[in-house]
Chains A and B, each alone.
Chain A
Amino acid sequence: MDAFPPLQEWFPAAVAAYLTSAAAAVVLARWPRLCRVTAFGGSMLGSALVVALALSVLAGEPVSGRLGVHAASGIAFGYAVTPLAAWFLLVLGLVSAPVALYSIGYLPHAVPDGRTALLGASFNVLVAAVAVVFAAADVITFLLAWEVMTLATAALVASEHEIPATRRAAYVYLVMSHVGTGALLAGFLMLASMAGSVSFEFVLAGDVAAGRWRDVLFVLFFFGFGVKAGVIPLHIWLPEAHPAAPSNISALMSAVLIKAGIYGLFRVCAFGLGVPAVNWGLGVMALGALSAILGVLYALAQSDLKRLLAYSTIENAGIILLGLGAGMTAAALGRADLAAAGIAASLFHVLNHALFKGLLFLSAGSVVMASGSRRLEELGGLIRRMPWTAAFFLVGALAVSGLPPLNGFASEWLTFQALLLGFASLSGVTRMNFPLAGALLALTSALAAACFVKAFGTVFLALPRSRAAIDAGESPAIMLVPQGWLAVLCVGVGLFPGAVLGAIAGVLTSLPGLRLAHAPAGALTMAVGPASFDHVAPAALGLTLAAAVLGAAIVAMAPRLRSGQARLARRVPTWGCGGELGPANQYTGAAFSKPLMMIFRTVLRPTREVEALADVSPYYPREVRYRTAIEPVFERYLYHPLTTAVLGAAGRLKVLQAGSLHAYLAYVLVLGVVLLIWLGGMR
């Protein structure tokens, strides 16, 4: 074992691998093929190191050390891979490795060769920055990595910058992120000056702030991290930025980048400011429920595949927050075991969302590459042209809908447990929030199922709706293998949730105020409360299901086998109501979600325009144009007044900045005199 370097060197080595790959990408810019293989191959190496380190920390002891020291100022950049950080690093490594492999096959089709180097380098810088965010041991390292992360993402989002919508998406992302970072900076400065240190060990010890200040800090940090996590109403950048970026980047953003925000919420809001207040927990739960419901409703309304997935990311961030909020509420009420259940559900969903949403974005990328379109209404019938991609997308769709025996079910099951255990063990009116949140979670997952039946059915089934969809072909193996890997993980985690819960138990014991009352029983069964309350063994469900499917196949086949009829089914054209069935007769995605749009119209405020172009008589239109949209409520009623007010104030302040040197000199003079008087008075 001496041949292995000590664990302390693994994290710097992984960061070095990412940064070297980034540098190599720039150096090899003139040879796009070599550049891709080096940049993303190196990235996979770094991710492998990250996964190995995370697993060994989860199994053993935390690791800490230094990434470097700034010689002139003497500032040391420390890192500490705590079990919590290891969990998020595991998620990062597990998803970014397949995404990197996918990128090697995907990039030549997605961007011009001239941009390969920029993308390869930014990709690696982004992954390195997120890794450092997860492992940072002090405020300065954290904020530096946070900013690098933001900028690298902006560069990736803007990689197709000749499209105006993409530029706008990158701009909105930058503005929102920086407002959020401003809140974080303020929060950390306050905490650091109260603690007299910049090390997280002291800053986030939990005893630094007290009273009102704690609430102020909580709100600041929730705002700052919530922007990154895509929590409604701080989400407006997300549905713009995710679709604008190339699909491999969308996968990375949805699976990993928003988890940086979630990590911050865990590290600071839940466990860094002392025992949470009840109102914090309830607030997090409320915003989680809001994000989940609105996220999935907006997703249903989309006709752009990647926007649909982006809104589904908001929904899942909401589910993660529901678990976290339930845990925080229970912790505030002094129930360590209940808090552990909520936090476990939340952490589990972090992993699951990364796996299935990474998978879905990669499959969507294959679809976009093959057909050149993201619009649902231009796709269709791809299951015959892209059978593997269709199968992988189906796995992701089942997982995101929370259906057993896939991984989404496991974490939603845990979230339900946290909510119901919370209700059963607490008293007072507060606990009524728990079953209410449970009902909203049930609604969310049922709506998600409707949303993904629509997405899968419209994209992959029936007849192709455009020339592009007819000509589409399957992706190369280098893009299918990463999807297959993520699909296998989705199924594997779903079948063996107990093993994952065992790893999470290690994280829980390292966090203050949590106590897992019941040790995980094994790899197959999952239970967080007493076993008599509830448990689930998805593998048993899966096996029974497999046996039952076999039984169904026999039931369907046996009678005809005996009567000696042909086993093959007769294939006939679908009945077209007397006419010939064409792509135009099919139900569209918009039509599929129309009833739900109508039912939730008070929330979604759909608008529609119907235009009939007729030559002879209005009763025989030559062409009907139908356009539907939902009102961007938050943009219109929250952000628009806000930006108008800011711009108005800036316009009025412009008088001060008149461009006259004399005026500026006068300001300096006045300020100097005032300072002299004030400082003199203080003495």
Chain B
Amino acid sequence: MIEHALAPIGLAALQAAAMLALAPLLRGLIKKMKAALQMRQGPPLLQVYYDLAKLLRKEAVRSATSSWLYIAGPRMYFATAVVATTLVPVWIAAAPLEAAGGVLAFVGILALGRFFLATAALDTGSPFGGMGASREMTIAALAEPALMLGLFTAALSAGSLNLGALVRGLLDRGVAFHPSDVLALAGLFIVVIAETGRVPVDNPATHLELTMIHEAMVLEYAGADLALVEWASALKELLYLTLLADLFAPIGIATSASPVLLLQSALIWAAKMFVLALAVTLVESTNAKLRLFRVPDLMAVSLGLGFLALAIRFL
């Protein structure tokens, strides 16, 4: 009985730790590729790690007007990203904590983190925090239905809303390509861009008050608090890309826990991440950031694509 409970917990801890360890690399990789496209040398691949290490050692500085929620915000944001990691199959066709919930739990738990971070942003009394929180919640609200529709399409064609069972269902179905996949992938890719705060929705590199969204929300944070937020954002990005790979190209994921399969699966996963990171980089390098009030149009396109995909798939 106890072994039954311990095995998933151990797997969950392992997967979360490995994903946490790899997440900053993805950020660094995107930065490096972006710099290469702009004919710059760019920061070292491991710069994000150095930044995190430095921030974690820094003294904590907090606003005098803030309350306990300001401290809880980054911790909850980080923790929800970690919990979400345990619900997604990464290298093996089963999520460690499959028993805890599926797609809806995944979306819900990430929304919980966002709620806390946005609330905490209002705690300092700085207008930037409010501005960022307002915009973040606005875009999240618009992205949510599109995200759900995209996930529903994949889930319904696999016959399960549980991510582990979903991936196994897709693998059982075989390599059968369906035209609706293109639409669903396009729709979900837009959502992922929005949720991870990338151009054209948000610009992770800007600190200009008129344009920043996520950065404005966390502008007051410093030291370890900021490190948690940055790390969790990187983890979320890796997680969303893994989710896309799971939903649209599950091929190659290990179906049993044999070491050879696992190694092979990890390599294939890394290749998929590289391709997706390249796609994110290309989109970010070839597009200008949209005006805030044009973002709803983009989200509407995503929602429309999701609905079309569903209609084509099932009608």
A residues whose Cβ falls under 8 Å from a Cβ of B: 381, 383-384, 394, 398, 401-404, 409, 413, 416-417, 420, 423-424, 429, 431-432, 435-436, 438-440, 442-443, 445-447, 449-450, 452-454, 456-458, 461-463, 525, 532-538, 540-541, 544-545, 548-549, 551-553, 555-557, 559-560, 563, 565-566, 569-577, 581, 583, 585-588, 591-596, 598-599
8 Å CB contacts to A: which residues of B92-138?
97, 99-105, 107-109, 111-112, 114-115, 118-119, 122-127, 129-131, 133-135, 137-138
User: Are the C-beta atoms of A439 and B118 separated by less than 8 Å?
Assistant: no
Among residues of A, the one whose C-beta sits closest to the C-beta of B161 is A534
Contact partner of B115 (CB less than 8 A), chosen from A453, A462, A535, A549, is A453
Q: Which of A462, A588, A596 has the most CB of B within 10 A?
A: A462
**Is B78 engaged at the interface, CB distance under 8 Å to the other chain?**
yes
User: Are the C-beta atoms of B67 and A442 separated by less than 8 Å?
Assistant: no
User: Are the C-beta atoms of B125 and A574 separated by less than 8 Å?
Assistant: yes
Do A574 and B82 form a contact, CB below 8 Å, given A446-B140, A552-B75?
Answer: no
Bound CA span A453–B74, Å: 16
- Point out the residues of chain A lying under 8 angstroms from B112, CB to CB: 398, 403-404, 545
Among residues of B, the one whose C-beta sits closest to the C-beta of A442 is B148
Among residues of B, the one whose C-beta sits closest to the C-beta of A596 is B138
Bound CA span A525–B172, Å: 26
- Point out the residues of chain B lying under 8 angstroms from A577, CB to CB: 127
User: Are the C-beta atoms of B59 and A540 separated by less than 8 Å?
Assistant: no
User: Are the C-beta atoms of B149 and A556 separated by less than 8 Å?
Assistant: no
- Point out the residues of chain A lying under 8 angstroms from B303, CB to CB: 439
Do A549 and B75 form a contact, CB below 8 Å, given A461-B122, A556-B225, A559-B224?
Answer: yes
Contact partner of B145 (CB less than 8 A), chosen from A403, A442, A537, is A442
Do A536 and B101 form a contact, CB below 8 Å, given A461-B69, A560-B57, A596-B141?
Answer: yes
User: Are the C-beta atoms of B125 and A462 separated by less than 8 Å?
Assistant: yes
Q: Interface segment, B26-34, B152-160, B241-249, B266-274?
A: B152-160
- Point out the residues of chain B lying under 8 angstroms from A394, CB to CB: 69
B contact residues, total (Cβ < 8 Å): 90
Smallest Cβ distance from B266 to chain A, in angstroms? 23
Contact partner of B104 (CB less than 8 A), chosen from A413, A555, A556, A588, is A413
- Point out the residues of chain B lying under 8 angstroms from A581, CB to CB: 65, 125-126
Beyond A442-B144, A548-B79, 6 extra complex contacts between A and B, CB < 8 Å: A413-B108, A439-B306, A461-B67, A545-B112, A556-B75, A581-B65
Among residues of B, the one whose C-beta sits closest to the C-beta of A452 is B115
**Is B293 engaged at the interface, CB distance under 8 Å to the other chain?**
yes
User: Are the C-beta atoms of A551 and B69 separated by less than 8 Å?
Assistant: no
User: Are the C-beta atoms of A592 and B315 separated by less than 8 Å?
Assistant: no
Do A532 and B162 form a contact, CB below 8 Å, given A424-B156, A435-B152, A446-B111?
Answer: yes
Do A535 and B79 form a contact, CB below 8 Å, given A420-B155, A439-B148, A587-B129?
Answer: no
Among residues of B, the one whose C-beta sits closest to the C-beta of A594 is B134
Contact partner of B133 (CB less than 8 A), chosen from A383, A457, A569, A583, is A457
- Point out the residues of chain B lying under 8 angstroms from A535, CB to CB: 99, 101-102, 162
8 Å CB contacts to A: which residues of B257-283?
none
User: Are the C-beta atoms of A541 and B109 separated by less than 8 Å?
Assistant: yes
Do A574 and B65 form a contact, CB below 8 Å, given A398-B112, A450-B138, A461-B123?
Answer: yes
Q: Which of A401, A544, A572 has the most CB of B within 10 A?
A: A544
B residues whose Cβ falls under 8 Å from a Cβ of A: 12, 16, 53, 56-57, 59-69, 74-76, 78-80, 82-83, 86, 97, 99-105, 107-109, 111-112, 114-115, 118-119, 122-127, 129-131, 133-135, 137-138, 140-149, 152, 155-156, 159-162, 165, 220, 223-225, 227-228, 292-293, 296, 303, 306-307, 310-311, 314-315
Bound CA span A461–B133, Å: 13
Smallest Cβ distance from B285 to chain A, in angstroms? 27
User: Are the C-beta atoms of B130 and A586 separated by less than 8 Å?
Assistant: yes
- Point out the residues of chain A lying under 8 angstroms from B99, CB to CB: 525, 535, 537, 540
- Point out the residues of chain B lying under 8 angstroms from A549, CB to CB: 75-76, 79
A to B CB contacts below 8 Å, 7 in the list: A403-B112, A420-B161, A548-B16, A560-B57, A570-B62, A573-B65, A599-B138
User: Are the C-beta atoms of B126 and A457 separated by less than 8 Å?
Assistant: no
Bound CA span A447–B78, Å: 23
Contact partner of B161 (CB less than 8 A), chosen from A398, A457, A533, A586, is A533
Among residues of A, the one whose C-beta sits closest to the C-beta of B299 is A599
Bound CA span A624–B9, Å: 58
Do A537 and B101 form a contact, CB below 8 Å, given A442-B145, A551-B79?
Answer: yes
User: Are the C-beta atoms of B141 and A450 separated by less than 8 Å?
Assistant: yes
User: Are the C-beta atoms of A574 and B124 separated by less than 8 Å?
Assistant: yes
User: Are the C-beta atoms of B126 and A574 separated by less than 8 Å?
Assistant: yes
Bound CA span A241–B16, Å: 50
Do A556 and B65 form a contact, CB below 8 Å, given A438-B148, A438-B152, A541-B109?
Answer: no
Among residues of B, the one whose C-beta sits closest to the C-beta of A577 is B127
- Point out the residues of chain B lying under 8 angstroms from A599, CB to CB: 138, 142, 293, 296
User: Are the C-beta atoms of B118 and A453 separated by less than 8 Å?
Assistant: yes
Do A569 and B122 form a contact, CB below 8 Å, given A552-B79, A595-B138?
Answer: no
Bound CA span A576–B141, Å: 29
Q: Which of B79, B102, B155 has the most CB of A within 10 A?
A: B79
Contact partner of A463 (CB less than 8 A), chosen from B65, B78, B227, is B65
User: Are the C-beta atoms of A446 and B141 separated by less than 8 Å?
Assistant: yes
Bound CA span A593–B138, Å: 8
Smallest Cβ distance from B77 to chain A, in angstroms? 8
Among residues of B, the one whose C-beta sits closest to the C-beta of A548 is B79
